[in-house]
């Protein structure tokens, strides 16, 4: 599906049959499960299950993301001692999340050119999304039937965000009540933390704080993991450098055209191809 300037070629990321990795929704669940496990957070999706475990190299990427872009959040995990500054940071993170949903998502949607896709193009992609699973999950959360064909799905999604925002507002109100019982020094710590929390993970443009481009490459490899896995399985005699050339030629992921960089990247992620691309040590010596 070729797109014009400022748009994206969506189909290159998605096999026509959904691939061996399941639907898009199942892939997101699989990534979230590993991400939560890497961060020591409980996994509870109210009966959701992808049924499609991630390859080892994808798990490595998710674990690395948990130690980098999610580090500011994981550092706020309670340890049994009251920390008013961290308490404020949590509230700041909640506020930044609401801003992301209410404002950043639409802007990023437009930046990627997804707002220019036609109804026919969306229909071609619809079977890959796994809407039936989304409807089942929303039905379980909201306690009523949600179906895509009766127009209730959009309303259910809006209602879910509304409930989530109300819950976050309740948490903020409770936090402010507790802060009001403290002295000025303690209150100052809370509000200082709240300002820090608002920008500790995501900046004003919706970019991850401290990201130098590596995280985007990680995410791209996760998005295109089905195609990469297909390449690894159908081209078993190819080397890492062949895989690198293929990725660059397909123009699906922006990576440096540097074999040593790609070798290092593959080593970090345990991304194996039959031929690693390097000369054997005996040949070097």
- Rounded to whole angstroms, how far apart are CA atoms 15 and 128? 9
Q: Which long-range contacts (CB under 8 A, 24 or more apart) does 198-203 make?
A: 198/92, 198/93, 198/95, 198/96, 199/92, 199/96, 200/72, 200/89, 200/92, 200/93, 201/69, 201/70, 201/72, 201/73, 201/93, 201/96, 202/96, 202/100
**CB contact at 8 A, 1 and 11:** yes
Encode pLDDT of 80-112 as tens digits: 899 999 999 999 999 999 999 999 988 888 887
Answer with the residue of higher pLDDT: 35 or 169. 169
Least confident range from 1-5, 85-89, 211-215, 244-248: namely 1-5
**pLDDT tops 80 at residue 51:** no
User: Cα–Cα distance between 240 and 265 in angstroms, integer?
Assistant: 10
DSSP, res 101: I
What is the arithmetic mean of pLDDT over 136-142?
87
Query: Would you list the domain boundaries of the chain?
Result: 80-210, 214-284
In this structure, of 115-124, 149-158, 180-189, 272-281, the range with the lowest mean pLDDT score is: 272-281
| Paired residues of 208 in beta bridges | 202
> Tell me, what's the pLDDT at 49?
55
Q: Which residue has the higher pLDDT, 182 or 216?
A: 182
Q: Which tokens is 16 given?
A: 């026509």
Task: Single out the residue of 1, 224, 18, 10 nearest to residue 128, CA to CA.
Answer: 18
Residues 6 or more apart in contact with residue 236 via CB below 8 angstroms? 274
pLDDT band at 211; cut points 50, 70, 90: low
Per-residue pLDDT at 197 exceeds 60: yes
Distances (CA, A) of 267 to 1, 53, 120, 201, 215: 33, 21, 41, 27, 16
Q: Which class for 200: exposed (0-12), middle (13-18), buried (19 or more C-beta within 10 A)?
A: buried
Averaged pLDDT, 266-272 = 86
Quote the mean pLDDT of the chain: 80
In what helix (H) or strand (E) does residue 221 lie, and over which residues does it extend? helix 214-223
């Amino acid at each position: 599906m070729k797109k014009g300037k400022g748009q994206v070629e969506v189909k290159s990321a998605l096999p026509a049959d959904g691939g061996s990795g399941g639907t898009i929704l199942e892939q997101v669940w699989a990534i979230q499960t590993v991400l939560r496990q890497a961060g020591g957070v409980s996994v509870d999706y109210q009966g959701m299950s992808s049924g499609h475990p991630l390859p080892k190299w994808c798990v490595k990427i998710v674990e690395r993301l948990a130690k980098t872009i999610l580090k500011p959040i994981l550092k706020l995990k309670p340890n049994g001692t009251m920390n008013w500054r961290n308490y404020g940071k949590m509230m700041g993170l909640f506020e930044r999340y609401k801003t992301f949903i209410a404002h950043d998502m639409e802007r990023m949607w437009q930046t990627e050119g997804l707002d220019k896709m036609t109804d026919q193009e969306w229909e071609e992609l619809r079977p890959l999304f796994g809407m039936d699973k989304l409807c089942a999950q929303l039905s379980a959360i909201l306690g009523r039937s949600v179906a895509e064909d009766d127009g209730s799905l959009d309303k259910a999604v809006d209602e879910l965000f509304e409930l989530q925002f109300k819950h976050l507002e309740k948490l903020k109100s409770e936090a402010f009540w507790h802060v009001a019982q403290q002295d000025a020094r303690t209150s100052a710590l809370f509000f200082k933390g709240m300002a820090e929390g608002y920008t500790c993970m995501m900046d004003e443009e919706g970019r991850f704080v401290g990201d130098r481009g590596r995280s985007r490459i990680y995410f791209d490899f996760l998005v295109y993991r089905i195609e990469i896995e297909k390449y690894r399985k159908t081209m078993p005699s190819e080397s890492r450098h062949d895989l690198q050339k293929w990725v660059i030629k397909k123009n699906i992921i922006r990576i440096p055209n540097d074999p040593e960089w790609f070798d290092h990247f593959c080593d970090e992620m345990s991304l194996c191809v039959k031929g690693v691309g390097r000369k054997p040590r005996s040949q070097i010596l």
